[in-house]
Structure 1
Amino acid sequence: MLFTRPEALSAATADVYREWLRAAGKTGDRAVVECGRQLDPWQVVRAGLVPYWCESATRRSVAGAELWLAGSSAFSSVDVLPDPPGMASPVLAGLPQWRAAASFGRRRGAVDRLAARGYPTSAVPTGHATEVLRNQPYDLPAPKPLRIVDALTGLRDSGTQQGLLIC
């Protein structure tokens, strides 16, 4: 698998998750934008969320999430878990940009309060995403495991136009 930027892989992976959830009879209409270390794949599956991962808290990375959200079918909710980098920098997304990503939720959009409180200079514990996502409503049972062939087909179908190459 080759990709020119992390946003291409994140968008294609999120699309694969959404289709996997829908094929299992789930709504696939709740998204979570995770960042850096702030992620928990098991809690995402347990809650039936569609995950989009930002490699870092840069404006470019968050813009990728915004573009994917804008180009996707609407989500009823979008939760955002920024990973504060611990320093201020002109390349970092500000809280308004994170809030803009959350605003794509039709009924609800939220930026995690702890991460936002001292953003970008505060620190958030590594396990914080687990605590936040554990509070999401359960959507059990979890879908059957995604078959590799279906994952690769989904990544190819969704990612090709974004610069993702599956060999």
Structure 2
Amino acid sequence: MRQVLLLNATYEPLTTLPLRRAVCLVLREKAEIVHHDISGACLRSATAVVELPSVIRLLRYVRIPYRQRVPLTRAALMRRDNFRCVYCGRRAETIDHVIPRSRGGKHLWENCVACCMPCNHRKADKLLEELGWQLPVTPAVPRGAHWRLIGLVHDGDPQWAPYVNEPAA
């Protein structure tokens, strides 16, 4: 389904919404269209014509309590590691715990990495030292407000770029 970028009243990006929800917010006058879809497509009813939005802005400010720590999700972990296996560099398909959970490792950002299936099976529940492997980069918690918007820049509409400030890697 088509997604629309939702901005707060201060033009701060909040999230993405399905097109249907975005149009409902605009029709109820809770949001305004900031950018129309580049295709120029419209939704028509008996009494109204609405151009499809790409970016909408809420008319009233919504206070969002931000978490200090970014939640550990599969999508966020894959994004942090650029969808690449940290051990061999191939396309990552799974998550690996550097210190296996069977050996007391925790499910934390600092202990999880993206991994391909062959490396994950080869490593199994062994420690890196037992295999003679080393991590090229120490896993860390991602920082910054753009981590709330996982997938926006990677998969998003090019019209969203002025509103989503993702720092350079």
Same fold (TM > 0.5): no
Q: TM-score range by the shorter chain?
A: under 0.3
State the TM-score, normalizing by the size of structure 2. 0.24
Q: Give the strand-richer structure, 1 or 2.
A: 2
Q: Which has the higher contact order (CA 8 A, sep 6+)?
A: 1
State the TM-score, normalizing by the size of structure 1. 0.24
